[in-house]
Amino acid sequence: MSSPASFCAIDFGTSNSAIAIPREAGMCLVELEGGQQTMPTAVFYYVDGRHDADGPPRAFGRAAIAAYVDGIDGRLMRSMKSILGSGLIEQTTDVGGGRGVKYFDILAGYLKRLRNSALAAGASTSMKQVVLGRPVFFVDGEPARDAAAQASLEAAARAVGFDEVHFQFEPIAAAFDYESGIKREEIVLVADIGGGTSDFSVVRVGPQRMQRIDRRDDILANHGVHIAGTDFDRHVELASILREFGYRSIGPPRKGAPAREVPSAVYFDLATWHLINTVYSPLRVAELRQMRSFYGSTLHHQRLMTVLEERLGHELAARAESAKIAVSGGGDTLIDLDMVEPGLQILLSEAVAIDALDSDINRIVQAGRDAVAQAGLKPEQISALYFTGGSTGLRLLAERIAADYPAAAHVKGDRFASVATGLGLHAARLFR
């Protein structure tokens, strides 16, 4: 039997990650930063500063994102999971300050940060065993690349101190919470709607299967689309906030030509998180300042220039996300933009939000239908819907998914930590 504190479970996610360790009460998630049990999967490399034993100066998680948003000179790395299975993993990338770092080492450094957090929380210094979550497919339709992706993640885990590395499928982990409370075999549709992707897995669960280590055969189908929470935020921002800054507005007739819509590129960039900083370059700000004559409303142009000159783009994106959450349960909300203009408020109605998100929601709902069809099942054969992922809190999305499966029970897991919790349960069964 392994020492109770000698193992852990890691959910290395595309957007957020978490780590679980054993305690007297069972497997518990470690507080990673600011009391939070999940941490953005992000690393920021500073241009300035000295190397230490672990490499170039850098920040992780929320601190990494804050450094990027604040415009500190450096490079932000996100979605590192997408590198797995690609030729990039052994390549070196420029992180600023004349420094180069292998993508593999970036990934390993983040895993080391998670492991160190577990050690600081009281895990044994001899913690050598780990269960890592993995998607059903790192790479769709390419078994060799999929195997290479898992091998790279395992190598990174070994490089930071783990000697025994096991994997469990993320949809199986998410279903463990539901499985622990049922008395007969069932078919569950796991809807994992996160920040970047919406994934559906049809999973067979039951008390007789609970103790099996290899659960691959219990995944009957898996399907997803690269549409999720960040897409919702972008559409909400374009449909509400950015209208008050000139998006889709009509300028005056120019040089005998009919009136045209204001150029929209800057608005799409302002609504796309990783492109926001590109609108702050001096050349682009100067160019947009000279476009005053394109606008029919002086106020729209003034507000836009305030956002660019005061670097408020990420704050606008955050207000859009908060507004999306506020209307997710029904009703309307006021978006306060006082930081741009005193007294500026914008009403976001549920109807406007629904209209803005309708196309994306339809595609996500269809992905669920496709997963069930791939499993060779009919909707009425689904026993339960298990919702996880940050975006499943959006009521209208959850209701649209659930409408296809009227006979299924609706179960809401922890939107941000159910996969990590499930991986912890599997680790306890495996290592104990």
Reduce the secondary structure of 150-165 to three states and give it as a string: HHHHHHHHHHCCCCEE
Angle ∠(202,206,207) on CA atoms, nearest 5: 160
| Helices vs. strands in the chain: H and E counts, helices first | 12, 18
CA atoms within 13 A on the CB side of 282: 0
Angle ∠(429,154,177) on CA atoms, nearest 5: 35
Is residue 64 within 8 A of residue 58, CB to CB? The reply is yes
How far is Cα 101 from Cα 96, in angstroms, rounded to an integer? 10
Is residue 195 within 8 A of residue 230, CB to CB? The reply is yes
Burial class (CB in 10 A: 0-12, 13-18, 19+), 315: middle
pLDDT at 5: 63
The DSSP result for 165-180, as a single string, is: EEEEEHHHHHHHHHHT
Residue 343, phi-psi category: left (phi > 0), alpha (psi -120 to 50), beta (remainder): left
pLDDT at 4: 46
Q: Cα dist. 200→55, 172, 266, 354 in Å?
A: 38, 11, 34, 22
Q: Give the CATH fold of the 7-162 domain.
A: Nucleotidyltransferase; domain 5 (3.30.420)
How far is Cα 66 from Cα 398, in angstroms, rounded to an integer? 31
**H or E element at residue 19:** strand 16-23
How far is Cα 322 from Cα 98, in angstroms, rounded to an integer? 38
How far is Cα 11 from Cα 19, in angstroms, rounded to an integer? 6
How far is Cα 347 from Cα 159, in angstroms, rounded to an integer? 51
Q: What are phi and psi of 90, to 5 degrees?
A: -100, 5
Query: Using the 8-state DSSP alphabet, how is residue 212 labeled?
Result: -
Q: What is the pTM of this model?
A: 0.83
Is residue 265 within 8 A of residue 276, CB to CB? The reply is no
Nearest CA to 36 among 16, 7, 59? 16
Name the CA dihedral angle for 273, 236, 361, 217, rounded to a multiple of 10 degrees. 30
Every domain of the chain with CATH number 3.30.420.40 lies at: 7-162
The residues near 331 (Cβ < 8 Å, ≥ 6 apart) are: 350
Q: What are phi and psi of 176, to 5 degrees?
A: -60, -35
Residue 161, phi-psi category: left (phi > 0), alpha (psi -120 to 50), beta (remainder): left
Nearest CA to 224 among 269, 194, 179? 194
Query: Using the 8-state DSSP alphabet, how is residue 423 labeled?
Result: H
How do the pLDDT tens digits run along the chain, 432 residues long? 344 468 999 999 888 999 999 887 778 999 998 889 999 999 999 998 887 777 889 999 999 999 998 889 999 998 888 889 888 899 998 888 888 999 999 999 999 999 999 998 877 777 899 999 998 888 877 899 999 999 999 999 999 999 999 999 998 898 887 887 888 999 999 999 887 788 899 999 998 888 788 888 999 998 988 888 889 999 999 999 999 999 999 998 877 778 899 999 999 999 998 889 899 999 999 999 999 999 999 999 999 999 999 999 999 999 998 999 888 777 899 999 999 999 999 999 988 988 999 999 999 999 999 999 999 999 999 999 999 987 877 888 889 999 999 999 999 888 778 899 999 989 998 887
